């Protein structure tokens, strides 16, 4: 428990230090883009697949429940549209980013710490925050909104496929899209993106902090990766609740 | 060549003590390394040589006591970045995600010290000196232990720091390579006047390039020797350390091992 609090404290320290290092951004821009592309490349396919199914399942379940109320299925588009962009899109992207990117960051930085590469950087008067944390953080912040938008769109498409092809849902595709367009406004999408950026900040800061604080040997690297995943998942959901309440 | 050299750097350790979770590794060490000289730290495995080097490099903090660079406590000097320090780690500590060339170039690139063309020229020169030509594009994981060690050495030498710390520069190497590395360290010290601290068990190294030699024993540092006085030291521990006898007739192991 103590260790988790220390990890969090260090994550905050890293965020502040990153702000301090922003003046070196021009030199690190290449690294930022490289990390952003990597993250996108790694997460895009799985975000796509999962969002498609998430939208589909959402349409199926709500469509089935609303079957009993005449006319209620007309709201299917708005339900799927809003849930995806306000909640499920950002949340699912964040979870996938944790699994694919956060864990990889922790593993990489932890092994650098354990094998004294971080110490080597320090003796060379090179800041680990500037070279390792800042590019990952900015890469994540750049990629997250794109991934989230992608997730939203595929979720909507998933819903549409179900509406179109499942018999118990009596409305047709055009009613679905009309409902979706009517209720999903820029503000809802923006709220989702704000949350997504916050999640990305949490994921990358925590995974960097846990990685850099790793001491010991290979065993501890594994333990750190697990710890990152658990910590960020809890943090994301907690943050999600309070931010959603504030944004609504 | 790179940054203009400030006054040569001397190191002083006063009452340095280091405790790890209740275990005292270094006990009240006092020694000084004069500017431009080579100080060799000897001692059996596990006596805290690496720990002491990390303290001097500022990577760990002393439990009590003080380490001064040119009379200023380490903490203050570090904050002002007044001197360049190179540490060659025992296991190399190369950046595993970068190729050998990028490993060696990182310091110059990030500090914007010289042009890409000059970096290449320098790296080629130092790799040639260390007999490592042709490995520029390889990754560290594809090198042998001794090669990694030499690349780490190259990285330290390329920086041309004010203080160079070596952790076991000649272990894992055959005698011929080891002696060429000793030569290299010695001549770099002579040519550039870099203050050098070497942790090593290598008596050849201590004899040939050490100006002063300290022997760590159970976390304490006794007398400081010169190469001549070390060989004729009348301390039984040191004589045994330098010239261990192997006695198969009266082994020190319990019988179940035999
Ligand atoms: N981070 C640490 N935490 C706890 N104990 C440590 C730590 N680092 C070193 N030690 C202890 O300090 C002692 C000295 O270790 P050190 O690595 O300095 O030995 P050494 O003299 O360099 O040995 P070798 O010649 O084998 O490299 C060892 O007993 C080790 O257990
Ligand atoms: Mg050692």
- Category of A84 on φ-ψ map: left (φ > 0), alpha (ψ -120 to 50) or beta: alpha
What range defines the domain where residue B195 resides? 1-84+162-169+176-241
Identify whether B254 is part of a domain: no
B49 lines ligand 1 (CB under 6 A): yes
Q: B54 and A119 in contact by Cβ < 8 A?
A: yes
For residue B120, how many C-alpha atoms fall within 13 Å in the half-sphere facing its CB?
5
Identify whether B257 is part of a domain: no
Domain count for chain B, please give it.
2
Task: Dig out the tokens for A5 from the structure.
Answer: 């609090």
Q: Give yes or no: residues B98 and B32 share one domain.
A: no
Separation of CA A141 from chain center: 10
Task: Dig out the tokens for B63 from the structure.
Answer: 């439990």
Identify whether B9 is part of a domain: yes
The domain that holds B39 is classified in CATH as 3.40.50.300
Identify whether B249 is part of a domain: no
Q: Give yes or no: residues B140 and B216 share one domain.
A: no
CA A132 to ligand 2 center in whole angstroms: 27
β-pairing, B163-167 vs B195-199, is: parallel
Identify whether B251 is part of a domain: no
Residue nearest to atom 20 of ligand 1 (CA): B46
β-pairing, B38-42 vs B23-33, is: unpaired
Q: What digits encode the pLDDT tens for the residues B195-230? A: 999 999 888 899 899 999 999 988 888 888 898 888
Q: What is the reported pTM?
A: 0.89
- How high is the pLDDT of residue A51? 96
Task: Dig out the tokens for B186 from the structure.
Answer: 């010695």
The C-alpha atoms of residue B164 and residue B159 are separated, in whole angstroms, by 9
SS3 of residue B85 by DSSP: strand
- Phi, psi torsion values for B61, nearest 5 degrees: -105, 145
Question: Is the ipTM of this structure higher than 0.95?
Answer: no
Q: Give yes or no: residues B132 and B195 share one domain.
A: no
The C-alpha atoms of residue A153 and residue A150 are separated, in whole angstroms, by 5
- How high is the pLDDT of residue B145? 85
Identify whether B180 is part of a domain: yes
- How high is the pLDDT of residue B4? 45
Do residues B157 and B184 lie in contact, with contact meaning Cβ atoms separated by under 8 Å? yes
Q: Give yes or no: residues B41 and B18 share one domain.
A: yes
Q: B89 and A125 in contact by Cβ < 8 A?
A: no
Q: Give yes or no: residues B150 and B37 share one domain.
A: no
Q: Give yes or no: residues B9 and B73 share one domain.
A: yes
Identify whether B39 is part of a domain: yes
Q: Which residues are CB-contacts of B4 (< 8 A; sequence separation ≥ 6)? A: none
| Segment 88-147 of chain A within 8 Å of chain B by CB | 108, 111-112, 115-117, 119-120, 122-126, 131
Kindly list the strands in the beta sheet with B23-33, ordered across the sheet, starting from the edge strand earlier in the chain. B23-33, B11-20, B64-69, B72-73
Q: Give yes or no: residues B1 and B78 share one domain.
A: yes
Identify whether B205 is part of a domain: yes
**How many angstroms away from the CA of B157 is the closest CA of chain A?**
12
**How many angstroms away from the CA of A54 is the closest CA of chain B?**
36
Mean pLDDT per block of 10 residues along chain A (248 residues) reads 88 92 89 94 95 95 88 88 93 95 96 94 91 95 96 95 88 89 92 95 96 93 95 94 90
Domain count for chain A, please give it.
1
| Segment 136-195 of chain A within 8 Å of chain B by CB | none
DSSP code of residue A126: -
Helices A186-212 & A89-97, crossing angle to 10 degrees? 20
Do residues A116 and A93 lie in contact, with contact meaning Cβ atoms separated by under 8 Å? no
Print pLDDT tens along chain B (258 aa). 444 445 677 899 999 999 999 899 999 899 999 999 999 999 888 899 999 999 998 888 899 998 988 878 887 776 666 678 889 998 889 999 999 999 999 999 888 888 999 999 999 998 988 888 889 899 999 998 888 988 998 999 888 888 899 999 998 888 888 888 898 899 888 888 889 999 998 888 998 999 999 999 888 888 888 988 888 877 888 888 888 888 787 767 777 776
């Amino acid at each position: 428990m103590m260790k988790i609090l220390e990890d969090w404290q260090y994550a905050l320290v890293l965020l502040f230090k990153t702000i301090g290092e922003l003046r070196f951004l021009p030199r690190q821009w290449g690294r930022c883009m490289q990390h952003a592309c990597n993250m996108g490349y790694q997460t895009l396919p799985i975000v796509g697949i999962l969002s498609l199914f998430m939208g589909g399942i959402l349409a199926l379940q709500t469509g089935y429940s609303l079957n009993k109320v005449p006319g209620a299925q007309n709201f299917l588009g708005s339900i799927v549209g809003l849930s995806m962009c306000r909640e499920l899109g950002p949340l699912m992207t964040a979870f996938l980013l944790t699994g694919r990117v956060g864990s990889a960051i922790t593993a990489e930085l932890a092994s650098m710490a354990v094998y004294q590469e971080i110490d080597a950087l320090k003796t060379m008067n090179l800041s680990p925050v500037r070279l390792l944390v800042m590019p990952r953080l900015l890469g994540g912040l750049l990629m997250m909104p794109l991934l989230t938008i992608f997730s939203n769109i595929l979720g909507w498409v998933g819903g549409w496929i179900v509406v179109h092809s499942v018999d118990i849902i009596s409305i047709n595709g055009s009613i679905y899209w009309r409902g979706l367009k009517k209720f999903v406004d820029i503000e809802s999408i923006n709220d989702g993106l704000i949350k997504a950026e916050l999640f990305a900040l949490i994921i990358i800061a925590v995974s960097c902090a846990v990685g850099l604080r790793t001491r010991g040997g290979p065993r501890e690297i594994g333990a750190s990766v697990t710890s990152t995943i658990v910590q960020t998942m809890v943090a994301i959901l907690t943050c999600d609740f309070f931010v959603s309440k504030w944004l609504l | 060549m790179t940054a203009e050299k400030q006054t040569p750097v001397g190191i002083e350790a006063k009452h340095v003590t280091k405790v790890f979770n209740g275990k005292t590794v270094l006990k009240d060490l006092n020694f000084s390394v004069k500017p431009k000289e080579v100080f060799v730290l000897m001692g059996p495995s596990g006596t805290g040589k690496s720990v002491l080097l990390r303290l001097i490099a500022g990577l760990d903090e002393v439990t009590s006591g003080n380490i001064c660079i040119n009379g200023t406590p380490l903490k203050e000097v570090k904050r002002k970045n007044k001197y360049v320090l190179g540490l060659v780690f025992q296991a190399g500590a190369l950046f595993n995600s970068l190729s050998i060339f990028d490993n060696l170039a990182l310091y110059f690139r990030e500090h914007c010290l010289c042009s890409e063309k000059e970096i290449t020229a320098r790296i080629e020169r130092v790799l040639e000196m260390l007999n490592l030509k042709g490995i520029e594009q390889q990754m560290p994981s594809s090198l042998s232990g001794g090669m990694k060690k030499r690349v780490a050495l190259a990285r330290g030498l390329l920086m041309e720091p004010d203080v160079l710390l070596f952790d076991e520069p000649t272990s894992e190497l055959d005698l011929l390579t080891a002696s060429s590395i000793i030569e290299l360290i010695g001549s770099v010290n002579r040519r550039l006047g870099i203050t050098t601290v070497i942790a090593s068990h290598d008596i050849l190294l201590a004899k040939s390039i050490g100006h002063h030699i300290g022997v760590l024993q159970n976390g304490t540092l006794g007398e400081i020797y010169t190469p001549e006085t070390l060989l004729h030291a009348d301390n039984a521990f040191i004589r045994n350390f330098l010239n261990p006898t192997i006695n198969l007739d009266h082994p020190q192991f319990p019988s179940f091992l035999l």
